[in-house]
Structure 1
């Protein structure tokens, strides 16, 4: 008899139009135990749920198709890591449909918050409903959609900040350091908190002096922006310790430990469709050891007080736990 994951995989394969179940291993789980005491109330601030596509269909304009990742698999991850709270972010593959994220939050209960994707059709009443379901911010994913034009980024950020200021939600942005430099003045004057994903899109090999990263440090230092020190594997290819990320992480922590939060980026979708494949073909999830990644936080922040700020205090303030 096919189990629940088998049913999801079968549904996804049919929906995506390809038969590649043999390469779909499912979301990774930690191989290494956490080597430090994780404080009570710790939060994983960047995750995604990929639901059954028969129930949560993908956006037709997506640039990749991930395999499933369920709330139960996420719960197993966090049990292994000693993480109590979670922030679930709607991934680009759903467009402005937040249904899978709502599903994930409901499964987790009061220990979960959400970050939504909205569009021009999203009403204030829709936002009110999302707030009641645990959402506390919206995401602008400029990186995956290929937006690098500073003027487009400025327009989209300003519109998002204006929309959110009446309700106190934050604006989360996935972009690159040069774009951050181009919108720095808007972020500094923003009426809402601003959060940058994944080290601000910095590349570890280019170091702390790469174009745009000093501007990101300025925003963090002044308290005008939060940064997720998440998805280290997106900044570096040096698995499993991502040693070249250390200078970036430590520079951000030195700038302002009260404006940093941590996240896994589980289930680690590969947003680059392989050559010769279509965006509707299923791309396997990346194999990341989140135990090893969490252990790097103790390298970036040897002080337990600083780790508690990053894992517990800052997320509680930003997401309203």
Structure 2
């Protein structure tokens, strides 16, 4: 039995079977998606703040086929805490199709080298840190903890993915000036559109991109603006990160769109939105194919059966 009284059930993704009108290039990568469940096989953490409807690997692979996307990066969702078993099972099911971003304990003495090697061998190429839910902006970033984690993962060539509101840290670029590994910021830096592109924290993110210290995931625009599609308020953020450094951008669907409390977006519409916001096909290929291969160490793409 799955208990949801303290962790409310969130909205399920749109079930409509519909492909986008835009064709993604061969080898395209969805760089941000989550596998959730089946909960009876991979139980969610009791301390979670929401309960997702089961969104198992099979459903996600059907979605990829519907969208015309060949490969994907699976990111450990918060509902599993540091239990990466569901993620590892998904990665091991198809090492050519999937890469992963795991979550490991903050107490690094609990993490063995063989476990890190197991994650790497399965396809993990980064570690995710949730700053939003655990850090008070007034106290600053836990930079020493983050640096210690970065030094631990550096030998594997991994990056550190941060879920944080960059607008809350006006000295962002200075704080991460000499960071040991590449940084990846989800959801355009997770700054609400109301703060504008001139916000010091967002400008710091752009500086990190220009200095080739940070990557940005062009994901979840619905999470950081008030309206529904086409998320007009987010267009300036899209244009700003492209201008800063288009070689440091990747795209993701954010499926199954957990904790969305407004109109649930259809993934086909999100694909078409990228086509509108990134109209140049060469740039779109860079964001969807070339950049992800560098960041996530994907092999050269070849169709199944070739």
Same fold flag (TM > 0.5) = yes
- Correspondent of 1:42 among 23, 28, 44: 28
Pairing partner for 1:99 from 78, 82, 85: 85
Whole-Å separation in 2 of the counterparts to 1:99 and 1:27: 23
Higher relative contact order (CA 8 A, sep 6+): 1
Q: Which residue of 1 aligns with 2:165?
A: 176
**1:227 aligned onto 2:216:** yes
Q: Which residue of 2 aligns with 1:258?
A: 247
Query: Is the alpha carbon distance of 1:236 and 1:30 closer, same or farther for their aligned partners in structure 2, counting shifts above 3 Å?
Result: farther
Equivalent residue number for residue 305 of structure 1: 282
Report the CA distance between 1:165 and its aligned residue: 1.6
CA contact 1:153–1:179 (8 Å) conserved in 2: no
Counterpart of 1:79 (choices 43, 46, 65) is 65
* CA 156–179 in structure 1, closer or farther in 2 if over 3 Å, else same: farther
CA distance in 2: counterparts of 1:268 and 1:17, whole angstroms: 18
Cα pair 2:30 2:69 within 8 Å, conserved: yes
Unaligned runs of 5+ in 2: 299-306
> Shift in Å at residue 202 of structure 1?
1.4
| Partner SS state of residue 287, structure 1 | coil
Q: 1:113 aligned to 2:99? A: yes
2:238 maps to 249
Preserved CA contact (<8 Å) 1:29 1:290 = no
Structure 1 residue 132: Cα displacement:
0.6
User: 1:319: which partner in 2?
Assistant: 296
Query: Residue 271 and residue 236 in structure 1: after superposition, are their counterparts in 2 closer, same or farther (change >3 A)?
Result: closer
Is 1:70 the counterpart of 2:56 in the alignment?
A: yes
Shift of 1:149: 4.5
Partner in structure 2 of residue 128 of structure 1: 117
Q: Shift of the alpha carbon at 1:303?
A: 0.6
CA 1:145–1:25: 2 relative to 1, 3 Å: same
Match of 1:156 among 145, 153, 176: 145
In 2, distance between residues paired with 1:31 and 1:251?
A: 33
**What secondary structure does 2:88 align onto?**
helix
Residues of 1 paired with 2:183 and 2:32: CA distance?
A: 15
Tell me by how many angstroms 1:244 deviates. 1.2
Does the 8 A contact of 1:62 with 1:92 survive in 2? yes
From 119, 123, 126, the equivalent of 1:137 is: 126
TM-score relative to the length of structure 1: 0.84
- 1:180: Cα distance to partner? 4.8
The separation in 2 between residues aligned to 1:39 and 1:30, in whole angstroms, is: 23
C-alpha distance 147-106 of structure 1, shift in aligned 2 (>3 A): farther
Calculate the aligned-residue CA RMSD, in Å.
Answer: 2.4
Q: CA deviation at 1:105?
A: 1.7
Q: Is the 8 A contact 2:197 2:237 kept in 1?
A: yes
For 2:206 and 2:139, the matched residues in 1 are separated by 19
Post-superposition offset of 1:294:
1.4
TM superposition shift of 1:310: 0.5
2:12–2:52 Cα contact (<8 Å) kept: no
Contact 1:140 1:173 (8 Å CA) reproduced: yes
Q: Structure 1 residue 84: deviation in Å?
A: 0.5
Q: Which moved more, 1:63-72 or 1:180-189?
A: 180-189
Total equivalences in the alignment: 294
Q: Contact 2:24–2:68 at 8 Å: present in 1 too?
A: yes
Please state how far the C-alpha of 1:210 moved relative to its aligned partner: 2.4
Shift of the alpha carbon at 1:194? 0.8
Q: CA deviation at 1:158?
A: 1.5
Question: How big is each residue's C-alpha offset from its partner over 1:2-36, in whole Å with a ceiling of 9 and x where there is no partner?
Answer: xxxxxxxxxxxx22156xx9x88743346654232
TM-score, structure 2 as length reference: 0.88
